Amino acid sequence: MRDDVSARARAIRPFVVMDVVARAKELEAAGHDVVRMDVGDPDFATPDVITRAAEAAMEAGDTGYTQSLGLPDLRDAVAARFRTKYGVTVDSGDIVVSQGTSPAMLLLFGSLLDPGDEVIMADPCYPAYPNYVNFLGGVPVRVPARARNGFAMCPDEIRAAVTPRTRCIMLNSPGNPTGAVLPREHLAEVAAIAEERGLWIASDEIYHGLSYGDPDHSILEFTDRAFVLNGFSKLFAMTGWRLGYLVAPREFVRPAEVIQQNFFLCANHFVQVAGVVALTQADADVERMRVLYDERRRFLVPALRSLGLRVEVEPSGAFYVFADARCWGEDSLALSRRLLEEAFVASAPGIDFGPGGEGFLRFSYATSIERLREGVERLGTWAAAR
């Protein structure tokens, strides 16, 4: 007799860091003090100007459905952001607002892929990428993103991975789990590969605005053969609000809209109203948070190195340090569990992000510098006693 659970569901790998989160919460409920360096959930409160806008919208009765594409005011604000930040003209009619970037990923791949179509992506990468592609019948094709190359896929290896079934190249900059920012020259070269081979690019730009060196560059600066994923969770400390968007080539907008109509209807009305305010009135709050993230980054990188962990590539974006922890153990999942149970420090195992992440741990600095200091002290004590 067949397993009653669908093969599709059984094929999805767990998002291991969420299992770490669950166990950390169990330990906290049992009275343990856990230093949370596991998940990318900003510790800052959502800026007041955004919260007040949502409250006013609810009081005004903005609690019903909106258009499935999203409020015109929000799509106009996103388009304006592309003009001012990147010098790129995006038509508001090419923007689909979603309940976070995760649903936007489903809209993207659901409108782009047929069964057997291949998507080239970095190894390591955000775990949802291969899971979405697999879930929709596509085939993830992993290309190594090595520390010695700044965690960027080698263009020659991208070209070598292209087959007649290749449909898309997936990019993420600033990157999760690495914190690496892809230089404009790399983005331009990948865009050229897509143009040469008739491929599409899917660019996850959710960490844009959280960079600590050169300015961010959108893939749309280099090619029109691209989709952009972005949202409000990271930059505006709005993870629980669930608001994101997809910028899509015109021929994919209606298919994405139809998927949205059937699966999600629309993003919450009052949250979309707050999103307009985030894009137009919260820049000072964002800069304040970015500066504090940078202070944490500049503390945590040398602190981890002092413990014997290798940080070959200093992160220049997002809020993660991807550290080679093989001096403590080759099995990153087992090591992450030990650190949680024995040192009460929560981290993300590198294997969660693909085979290329094995032996690494991802430490999030989306928490206060005081807690980071405590976490580093506990790690040092644990390492000395093991």
Q: According to the model, what pLDDT value does residue 16 have? A: 82
Residue 124: pLDDT over 70 = yes
Same domain (yes/no): 61, 139: yes
Residue 2 covered by a domain: no
Residues 295, 182, 217, 108, CA torsion sign? negative
Same domain (yes/no): 152, 300: no
Distance from C-alpha of 113 to C-alpha of 175, rounded to nearest angstrom = 23
The last residue of one of the domains, among 281, 302, 318, is 281
Residue 3: pLDDT over 80 = no
Distance from C-alpha of 69 to C-alpha of 104, rounded to nearest angstrom = 11
pLDDT in tens, 164-204: 999 999 999 999 999 999 999 999 999 999 999 999 999 99
Same domain (yes/no): 84, 22: no
Same domain (yes/no): 159, 233: yes
Cα–Cα distances in angstroms (integers) from residue 303 to residues 262, 309, 315, 375, in the given order? 49, 9, 14, 10
Same domain (yes/no): 78, 171: yes
Residue 216: pLDDT over 60 = yes
Same domain (yes/no): 165, 187: yes
Residue 88 covered by a domain: yes
Distance from C-alpha of 234 to C-alpha of 30, rounded to nearest angstrom = 29
Q: Burial of 211 by CB count in 10 Å (0-12 exposed, 13-18 middle, 19+ buried)?
A: buried
Same domain (yes/no): 296, 231: no
Assign 8 a pLDDT band (cuts: 50, 70, 90): confident
Same domain (yes/no): 235, 172: yes
The last residue of one of the domains, among 281, 301, 321, is 281
Q: Which pTM was predicted?
A: 0.95
pLDDT in tens, 334-363: 999 999 999 999 999 999 999 999 999 999
Same domain (yes/no): 347, 247: no
Residue that wins the pLDDT comparison between 336 and 3: 336
Q: According to the model, what pLDDT value does residue 386 have? A: 80
Please give the average per-residue pLDDT across 270-287, as a whole number: 98
Distance from C-alpha of 316 to C-alpha of 304, rounded to nearest angstrom = 16
Could you tell me the residue range of the domain that residue 306 belongs to?
A: 7-45+284-385
Element at 340 (helix H, strand E): none
Q: According to the model, what pLDDT value does residue 206 have? A: 98
Percent of the chain with pLDDT over 70: 99
Please give the average per-residue pLDDT across 317-328, as a whole number: 97
Cα–Cα distances in angstroms (integers) from residue 48 to residues 43, 286, 296, in the given order? 15, 12, 23
Same domain (yes/no): 296, 333: yes
Residue 279: pLDDT over 90 = yes
Same domain (yes/no): 274, 304: no
The last residue of one of the domains, among 281, 310, 329, is 281
Q: According to the model, what pLDDT value does residue 48 have? A: 98
Q: Burial of 156 by CB count in 10 Å (0-12 exposed, 13-18 middle, 19+ buried)?
A: exposed
Q: According to the model, what pLDDT value does residue 348 have? A: 96
